[in-house]
Amino acid sequence: MMILFNLAIFLSGGTLLGVGIWVTVDDKSFLEIFGPLSSSVLQVVYVSYFLIAIGAILLVIGFLGCYGAQKDSKCLLMMFFSVVLIIFIAEIAAAVVALVYTGLAETLLTAVVTPLLKEKYGQDAGFTHIWNVTMEEVHCCGLNNYTDFTDSTFYNDYRLYPEPCCDNKKPCNETFAAESNVPGCFDQLLEEIKTNAGAVGGVAAGIAALEIAAMAVSMYLYCKLDQK
């Protein structure tokens, strides 16, 4: 059971890692194939790096679980238990921060994403395309609002804001952008989460249950090895 369970984790991690590398290396072809999916609000962050990180972690977890169970290695089983426990605690902490300190989450995202918008939007073709698709499909502008593009490279070059910031009115100058009052993508993300709160909670509960089961099985095997 332990080997099969962790083999699934290992293969899932390999898949996510491969997709993350693909998006990083050749994001244009990825967006052409999965155009409708690229409208997800999660494209607000650079999802490719997130996929690579999660895929790598899952690969490590799957390897530790499979190899530790097959070789009856107490050390590897304890490492597996520790890694899953750390992830479980981190998920709980992230959920608490997201629920209680939404403002802090927005501040952290703003500190990371806004400088990227000012520097890369209009200069990096892949980055610009991802944001254009997101803003068009989700009907949002920037992370917080149109002011995220003020003094950006794009604005300084054209003295205009992206068209979605003005509900596609042309020319999208500061007056139209202020009058349109298009919400930021972070606010839309919160609305999307609230709308699908049941589904999000169910998925989170399922993941938590799997992690608890994985820790229980690994600790059971560890204790059985002690008895041997």
Question: Can you give the length of the chain in residues?
Answer: 228
Kindly provide the b/e burial profile for residues 11-39, where b requires at least 16 CB atoms within 10 angstroms of the residue's own CB: ebbeebbebbeebbeebeebbeeeeeebb
Joined together, the tokens standing for residue 157 give: 């070059």
Longest dimension (CA), the chain: 76
Q: How far apart are alpha carbons 73 and 173 in whole angstroms?
A: 64
Q: How far apart are alpha carbons 73 and 120 in whole angstroms?
A: 48
The full set of domain ranges for the chain reads: 1-99+215-228, 101-195
Residue bearing the bigger pLDDT, 139 or 35: 139
Q: What is the pLDDT of residues 149-208, one digit of tens each?
A: 988 889 888 889 998 899 877 889 888 889 888 888 887 777 766 676 666 667 777 777
Amino acid (one-letter) located at 199:
A
pTM of the predicted protein model: 0.55
Fold that domain 101-195 belongs to in CATH: Cd81 Antigen, Extracellular Domain; Chain: A (1.10.1450)
pLDDT greater than 70 at residue 70: yes
Q: What is the pLDDT of residues 105-135, one digit of tens each?
A: 667 667 777 888 888 888 888 778 878 888 8
pLDDT greater than 60 at residue 3: yes
